[in-house]
Amino acid sequence: MTTLKVGIADYEQMKARTLAVARGKQRVRRDDPKIWFTSIESFAKVLSDRNRALLALIAETQPDSLAQLSELSGRAKSNLSRTLKTMERYGLVLLRKGQGGAIVPHVPYSGIALTVSLGSQGAQAASET
């Protein structure tokens, strides 16, 4: 499995980066983050301790449905559905159609690496989660 690389940058930084890439002034490197959050607070909210434990449970047990994940996690199916849809929007989990139309959650990576810019100079620090 691979490590998902996540970055923190405000809207203006993300816009400037996207435009620089589009204009050919900056190249997307293999080690660049694939997913971006606008703040550490938004990252922490989506990847709370409880949600990271949920991702680990999915990766370890590979449940066949949300119903099975609900049994394994002790969380209500409706709560799981909302949480997983949010995580899917950020690319943190994949939701596929399974047998009988069941929604099957899948985590396609074994870890998450967070990259945070320390200033306008673009200094970066990475930390494993």
20-76 pLDDT tens trace: 999 999 998 888 888 889 889 999 999 999 999 999 999 999 999 999 999 999 999
Q: How far apart are CA 79 and CA 83, in angstroms?
A: 6
- Kindly state the percentage of the chain with pLDDT values over 70: 90
The whole model's pTM is what? 0.77
For residues 66 and 77, the answer to whether their CB atoms sit within 8 Å is yes
Q: Is residue 114 pLDDT above 50, yes or no?
A: yes
Nearest to 112 by CA among 37, 27, 52, 30: 52
Token digits for 14? 């993300």
Q: Is residue 126 pLDDT above 90, yes or no?
A: no
Question: Which CATH number, 2.60.40.2580, 1.10.10.10, 3.90.1150.180, 3.30.540.10, labels domain 2-128?
Answer: 1.10.10.10
Segments making up each domain of the chain, as ranges: 2-128
Query: Which whole number is the average pLDDT over 88-117?
Result: 90
Token digits for 115? 């990259």
Query: Which whole number is the average pLDDT over 103-117?
Result: 89
Position 121 scores a pLDDT of 39
Q: Is residue 13 pLDDT above 60, yes or no?
A: yes
Q: Is residue 128 pLDDT above 90, yes or no?
A: no
Nearest to 112 by CA among 6, 39, 36, 1: 6
Phi, psi at 83, each rounded to 5°: -60, -45
Q: Please give the span between the terminal C-alpha atoms of the chain, in angstroms, as a whole number.
A: 15
Position 97 scores a pLDDT of 94
